[in-house]
Structure 1
C-alpha cells in the first residue's frame, strides 16, 4: 500500500522533470509526475552490503505517494528520511516564494511556479561523482557518460522493472572507470582520484557538514572548483543559499527572464549576476532553480 508523504504546500512538480533529465538507465525511471530508483542503504560499507531496495514517488496533482520495497524492513525509517531529503519535503516554500517575489523581475515567475523544490540526494558520494562527470558539459551529455558506467555497477538484489542495478559505487568507478570514461584526460584522472578517496574513506562528507567544511574537504581535490562545491552543497546539504553566477544556464535564464536575446544573455558577467542575487539571501538556491528552469524552457 502506498504511503502519502507530508509536505508544506504549495508543491511544484517540476522536481520530477529535473530528476528525469538526469536519470541513469538501469538505476532510475522518471517522468513529469513520478520518480523511481534502486537504492542501497549501505551505511558506507559499499553496494554489496547493507539493504537493497527500490522506491517510487508519484504526484497525483494534490498529493505525493511513496511505494517501496526493501530487503530489510527495519531500514524503512532511513529510506523515508532519504526520500524526504531528495524531494525537499521539509522546506517552507511560502517563505522562500515571498522573499523571491520581492524582486520585480522574479515576482511573475514565482507566481507562475510556486513551491519550487531543491532536489536533494540519497547518497552524497553519488552526487559528487555526478557533478564531476557533468562539469562543463550538457545535462544530456552527462547522462550519457553516467549511463556508460553501468557495466561497473552492482546488480540490485531487489530489481524492479527496468531498475536492475544500484548506482556505480566509488570503488567500482575507481577500479574500472578508466576503460569507460571519455573526455579530457585530466578530468578522467580527477574523477578516478576522487572516487578512490571516497572508496577508501579518506574523503567522507554528508548532510552533517557545513558549507565551510565542505569547502575545506572538496576544494583542494583535483578537478573540483567552486561550481562543483556549490552544486554539492545544494543537493547534499540542502543549503538554501547557493548561487552559481558562473553557470551558463543561470546566466541564460536571467537574460531570458529580462527579455534579452540569447546573444545578449551570453554577455552577462558573473559579477552582475552575483549583485542581482545578493538581496535574495538566504534563498539563492531557489533563485538558481528558477533561472535553470527558465533556461530549460527556451
Structure 2
C-alpha cells in the first residue's frame, strides 16, 4: 500500500492522533520509529520514511520509540474493515494463529500457498506473516514483562517465542533493551496470579454510553454483565478460559484480564479490541454519515458511536437466531435457559502494560463468568434446554453442528460473503440473521438490515423513509459504513 508523503507528514507535524496505527514514522538519523502523534520534536522531511506497519519499520532496522510506544497504537482501521485476504490475514495473525499453527496453518485457513501469502502481505504491509507475528510477540512479551511477576523464560514461551535466545534477541532489537532491563525500568508488584492489567488504545472519540448500553441490555447471567460503566464477560480462548473487565476512559479502555494460561494474552486482547470496535476510524465514519441531513444532528450530538461486536462468533449466531421476531428481553430469557442447561450438563456453574496507575482488579464476580457454551455442547443439549418452537430449535442444532464440524467459520478471519452464503443454506436462517452475524461476529462494516423493525422505527423518527425498499435505497449513500448507520437507527428508535 502506497502512502502519500505530504499527507503523512502533515499528520505528524500536527500530532494527529486519528492517524495512530494507520502508518508509522521512521527517523533515519535516530533509528527510531514513532506513531504520528508522538510528542517529540517533528523530524525534518529529509530524515523521514513512512511505513504501513510496525513490523515493516522493525524490518527496516528501526526500534520502537520509548516515549510514544508505537507498538501499542490502535490497529489499522483499513485492515480491520477490509474483507480481502490481507485484511483477513491481519485479523488471524492478531488472534495468534501463526503462533499456534504456523504460517502453514494461516495459509491453509486463507486458501493460499505460503509463498503467495507472503508475497501479498509483503507487498501491502512491507513485511511477511512471520515478521508481523514477531512484532506481535514482542508486544505481548513486553506486557508480560512489565505487568506480571512471571519468570523471563516463562514469558518467552507464553508470548510465542521458540526459545529464550530468540526472545532476548527480539526484545533487544525491537526495544533496544533486554527483557531484564525492561523489568527494572518498571518494577512490578506481586498481585493475583493470572491477572494482567492493560490499557487498550483507540482513536477518539469513543461513545462509551452507546456501547455499554447496547451490551448491557443483552447480558446473560454467567456470560457477561455491566456495572458502574464496566463491562465484564467470560472468555473461551485457544489454551483455556479467562474473563475480562473493560472500563472505557479518555483515550484508553482499561482492561483487567484473568487467564488460566498466559499464552492466551494476545488472542484475549484481540477479542477485547474487536468487541469494543477499538480499531475503527470514527472520523471517517462520522464524516460520511454526518453528510446526510437526517443523521447530521445525531452524529454531532453523539460522535464516535461504534458497532458492538463479539468475542465468540458462534455465540453471536445463536443470539441472532434466538432474537428473530422476539423482544430483547424475550431473547435473554431463552438464551439464559440454554446457558443454564449447558452449565448443568457439564457440572460447572494497540495494548499497553500499566504500572501503579492502572485499574484496580475486577471484582470477584468476574471469576464466575464462564462465557457461552461451545457449539459441540449446544448441539448435544436436550429439547428441554431450548424453550422455543421445534423449527427454531432445529436451526440452532444445525448451526451448532456446522460450527462444531468446521463446516462454518464464524470468526473474524472468515470470508464474509462465503460465510453469509453458507449460513443461509441452513434451515431457518435468512438474510436478516446472516447479516446480523456478519456485522457483529465477522466485523463487516457495511451491513444494512432494511427489514429490521427497530431500524425502520428509527428511520421514521429521523424523517427517513420507513418502508424496507425505500430505506434500503436511501442507505446506499451510507456505504461503506452502513453497519454504523444501522446502530444509529437503532438508537433513534
Structure 2 length-normalised TM: 0.54
Q: Secondary structure at the match of 2:472?
A: helix
Higher helix share: 2
- Corresponding residue for 1:202? 407
* Ranges in structure 1 where 5+ consecutive residues have no aligned partner: 43-49, 260-264
Check whether the contact 2:341–2:381 (CA below 8 A) recurs between aligned residues: no
Using the TM superposition, give the Cα deviation of residue 84 of structure 1 relative to its aligned residue in structure 2, in angstroms: 0.6
Helix, strand or coil for the counterpart of 2:294? coil
SS at match of 2:486: helix
Q: Distance in 2 between matches of 1:237 and 1:200?
A: 19
1:217 and 1:202 mapped to 2: Cα distance? 9
Match of 1:29 in 2: 225
In structure 2, the partner of 1:63 is 252
How many residues are paired up?
279
Residue 126 of structure 1 corresponds to 315
> 1:178 touches 1:192 (CA, 8 Å); kept in 2?
no
Distance 1:82 1:280 in 2: 27
* Counterpart residue number, 1:109: 298
Do structure 1's residue 287 and structure 2's residue 485 form an aligned pair?
Answer: yes
Candidates 460, 471, 492, aligned match of 1:255? 460
User: Against the structure 1 CA distance between its residues 51 and 256, is the aligned structure 2 distance closer, same or farther, given a 3 Å change threshold?
Assistant: same
Of 248-257 and 146-155, deviating more is: 146-155
| 1:230/1:243 contact within 8 Å kept | yes
> Structure 1 residues 164, 87: closer, same or farther in 2, change over 3 A?
closer
Asked if 1:83 corresponds to 2:275, the answer is: no
From 227, 248, 252, the equivalent of 2:432 is: 227
Could you tell me how far apart the structure 1 residues matched to 2:297 and 2:376 are? Answer: 46
Structure 1 residues 41-75: Cα deviation after superposition (integer angstroms, max 9, x where no partner): 03xxxxxxx31111010024553200111011121
How far is the alpha carbon of 1:164 from its aligned partner? 4.1
* SS of match in other structure, 2:381: helix
Deviation track 1:206-243 (CA, whole Å, cap 9, x = no partner) reads 21223311222211111110011111111122111111
Measured against aligned partners, the alpha-carbon deviations of 1:1-45 in whole angstroms (never above 9, x if no partner) come to: 632110000000111111111111011111472211111103xxx
Report the CA distance shift for 1:138/1:32 in structure 2 as closer, same or farther (over 3 A).
Answer: farther
Q: Given the alignment of the two structures, is residue 18 of structure 1 paired with residue 214 of structure 2, yes or no?
A: yes
Equivalent-residue separation in structure 2 for 1:240 and 1:3 (angstroms): 27
Instruction: For residue 219 of structure 2, give the secondary structure of its aligned residue in structure 1.
Output: coil
Matched with 2:416 is 211
User: d(CA) in 2 for partners of 1:63 and 1:137?
Assistant: 35
Q: Which residue of 1 aligns with 2:201?
A: 6
**Alpha carbons of structure 1 residues 53 and 160: separation in structure 2 relative to 1, 3 Å:** farther
CA distance in 2, matches of 1:253, 1:2: 39
Correspondence for 2:331: 142
Match of 1:40 in 2: 236
- Distance (whole Å) between structure 2 residues aligned to residue 215 and residue 62 of structure 1: 34
Larger CA Rg, structure 1 vs 2: 2
Partner of 2:342: 152
Aligned to 1:273: 471
Which of 343, 357, 365 is 1:161 aligned to?
Answer: 365
Taking the aligned partners of 1:200 and 1:54, their CA distance within structure 2 comes to 26
Q: Is the 8 A contact 1:171 1:195 kept in 2?
A: yes
Q: CA deviation at 1:160?
A: 4.5
Q: Quick one: structure 1 residues 61 and 8, their matched pair in 2 at CA, closer, same or farther if it must change by over 3 Å? A: closer
Contact 2:416 2:438 in 1 (8 A): yes
Give the secondary structure class of the aligned counterpart of 1:35.
Answer: strand
Residues 220 and 102 of structure 1, relative CA distance in 2, 3 Å threshold: same
Does the 8 Å contact 1:16/1:31 carry over to 2?
no
